[in-house]
Amino acid sequence: MSVLILRGARVLDIDQGELSDQRDVLVEDGRIRRISRDRLEAAGAEVIDVGGRTLMPGLIDLHVHVTAVRMDLGSQVRMPNVFVLLRSVPILEGMLMRGFTSVRDAGGAERALAEAVADGLAKGPRLFVSGRALSQTGGHGDFRPRSDHLPIVDSCACSFRIGAIARVVDGVDAVRKAVREELQMGAHQIKVMASGGVASPADPIDAYGYSTDELKAIVAEAEGRQTYVMAHAYTPKAIIRAVECGIRTIEHGNLVDDEAAAVMARHGAFAVPTLVTYRALVEQGPALGLPPDSVAKAHGVLDRGVKSLEILQKAGVKIGFGSDLLGDTHSRQSEEFLIRAAVQTPQQVLASATTIAAQVLQMEGQLGVVREGAIADLLVVEGNPLDSVECLARPVQSLKLIVKDGQVVKRQDL
Ligand code: ZN
Ligand code: ZN
338 has a pLDDT exceeding 50: yes
Summary mean pLDDT of the chain: 94
pLDDT given at position 296: 87
- C-alpha 324 to ligand 2 mean position (Å): 5
- Ligand 2 centroid–CA 251 distance in Å is 8
Mean pLDDT computed over 389-404? 97
287 C-alpha to ligand 2 centroid (Å): 20
Q: Computed from CA positions of residues 2, 366, 218, 72, in that sequence, does the dihedral angle turn out positive or negative? A: negative
Predicted confidence at residue 9, as pLDDT, reads 98
Q: pLDDT at position 157, please? A: 47
Ligand approaching nearest to the C-alpha of 73: 2
Tens of pLDDT, residue by residue over 271-315, are 999 999 999 999 999 998 888 888 888 888 888 889 999 999 999
Q: How far is the CA of 380 from the centre of ligand 1 (A)?
A: 32
pLDDT over 70 percentage in the chain: 97
The answer to whether 171 touches 97, Cβ cutoff 8 Å, is: no
Q: How far apart are CA 65 and CA 165, in angstroms?
A: 8
The count of C-alpha atoms lying within 13 angstroms of the C-alpha of 70, restricted to the half-sphere facing its C-beta, is 20
Give distance in angstroms: CA of 336 to centre of ligand 2: 15
Compute, in angstroms, the gap from residue 253 CA to the centroid of ligand 1: 9
**Sequence-distant (≥ 6) Cβ neighbours of residue 198 within 8 angstroms:** 205, 278, 281, 294, 297, 298, 301
pTM of the model: 0.96
The ligand placed nearest to the CA atom of residue 326 is: 2
- In this structure, of 236-250, 301-315, 393-407, the range with the lowest mean pLDDT score is 301-315
Position 5 scores a pLDDT of: 98
Cα(252) to ligand 1 centroid in Å equals: 7
Contact call for residues 7 and 38 (beta carbons, < 8 A):
no
Average pLDDT over residues 394-404: 97
User: How far does residue 111's CA lie from ligand 2's centre (Å)?
Assistant: 18
What is the Cα gyration radius of the chain?
21
More confident residue, 162 or 47: 47
Q: How confident is the model at residue 154 (pLDDT cuts 50, 70, 90)?
A: very low
pLDDT value, residue 176? 97
Which domains are assigned to the chain?
Answer: 3-58+369-411 (2.30.40.10), 59-333 (3.20.20.140)
Grade residue 160 by pLDDT with cuts at 50, 70 and 90: low
Cα of 227 to ligand 2 centre, how many Å? 19
Pairwise pLDDT comparison (237 vs 302), residue with the higher score: 237
Q: Can you tell me the mean pLDDT for 25-31?
A: 97
- Percent of the chain clearing pLDDT 90 (strictly above): 83
What digits encode the pLDDT tens for the residues 113-126? 999 999 999 999 99
Tell which wins on pLDDT, 201 or 178.
178
